[in-house]
Amino acid sequence: MNKNLRKAVIAGNWKMNKTPSEAKELLTQIAPLVKDAQCEVVACVPYVDLAVAVEAVKGTNIKIGAENAHWEEKGAFTGEISTGMLKEVGVEYVVLGHSERRQYFGETDETVNKRTKAVLKAGLKPIVCVGELLWERECNITEEVVARQIKLDLFDVSAEDVKNVVIAYEPVWAIGTGKVATADQAEEVCALIRATLAKLYSKEIADAITIQYGGSMNDANAAELLAKENVDGGLIGGASLVAEKFAAIAAAANA
Ligand code: PEP
């Protein structure tokens, strides 16, 4: 990462883990361990944990994120949550387009784009996830796949708004599998994402956007990944559920 140009963001994606009381306990464990972190530390938690989580991190440097948000402000969308609801609770970040949502819940680049614009309009920060399937990597189309996702997911997002977007490069084959991308593979695609952003906006804007790596990042491999020029943080699943491991990743971003 290049600390002169952008701030590292280390974000946990808790997925469908932790009840509200468990969330409070985990955040209480994490808080003292990350209190000196120079990076942004975020915990993205299930909807029902959000209010408890926001309360639990008061007075700490941890920010709370949600794991999705709908694009409409309100209405007949049973089971969905609006950006206004998230904002009122005190959420600051929202994960969008995670591969599990694309894979299991019919998320498309079109809906990711709508959600991204709604989240930005509400003054929240989207963490927009992109990444190739194993099959796509084997067919040598990683570059095309990821560039296409960036263009579609950010369609019609203004230069002013895009400064509040965090991109998470998450190769789908590395998520929850223990198969981490090599630091060189992560750097290659994060650099490509930055080049795509530079074409869409400008080099200056692209240089200021935080691009995370996600996919089996843990306390053992974080330092090597984060040492790369274009890897500005991490979106962490499994390891974010263990306070010491998550804190060690945040410490690696400080180094
Ligand atoms: C994720 O959920 O975004 C993720 C990267 O998971 P894991 O770290 O468990 O691979």
The ligand 1 atom nearest the CA atom of 214: 5
- pLDDT tens digit string along 1-54? 887 889 899 999 999 999 999 999 999 999 999 999 999 999 999 999 999 999
* Cβ of residue 84 lying under 6 Å from some atom of ligand 1: no
Please give the number of the atom of ligand 1 that sits closest to the Cα of 239.
8
Q: How many CB atoms lie within 10 A of CB 24?
A: 17
Q: Supply 90's token pair.
A: 């005190």
The pair phi, psi for residue 95, each rounded to 5°, is: -75, 135
For residues 211-240, give the mean pLDDT. 97
Ligand 1 in contact with 217 (CB < 6 A)? yes
Q: Is residue 169 part of a domain?
A: yes
pLDDT tens across 62-90, in order? 999 999 999 999 999 999 999 999 999 99
pLDDT in tens, 89-112: 999 999 999 999 999 999 999 999
The domain of 111 spans 9-254
Tell me if 209 CB under 6 Å of ligand 1: no
**Rounded alpha-carbon distances, angstroms, from residue 218 to 3, 39, 134, 174, 224:** 21, 16, 21, 12, 11
Q: How many domains does the chain have?
A: 1
Is position 194 within any domain? Answer: yes
List the beta bridge partners of residue 12.
Answer: 43, 236
Distance 216 CA to ligand 1 centre (A): 6
Residue 1 within any structural domain of the chain: no
Residue (of 67, 54, 140) closest to 99 by Cα position? 67
Q: How confident is the model at residue 168 (pLDDT cuts 50, 70, 90)?
A: very high
Domain at 199, CATH number = 3.20.20.70
Tell me what pLDDT residue 47 has.
Answer: 98
Instruction: Give a yes or no: residue 2 inside a domain.
Output: no
Let me know if residue 218 belongs to a domain.
yes
The answer to whether position 75 is within a domain reads: yes
Q: Which residues are catalytic?
A: 98, 170
**What's the DSSP call for residue 180?**
P
| Ligand 1 pocket, residue 131 CB under 6 Å | no
pLDDT category, 138, cuts 50, 70, 90? very high
Please check whether residue 123 lies inside any domain of the structure: yes
Burial code of 78-104, b = ≥16 C-beta within 10 A, e = fewer? eeebbbebbbebebbbbbbbbbbbbee
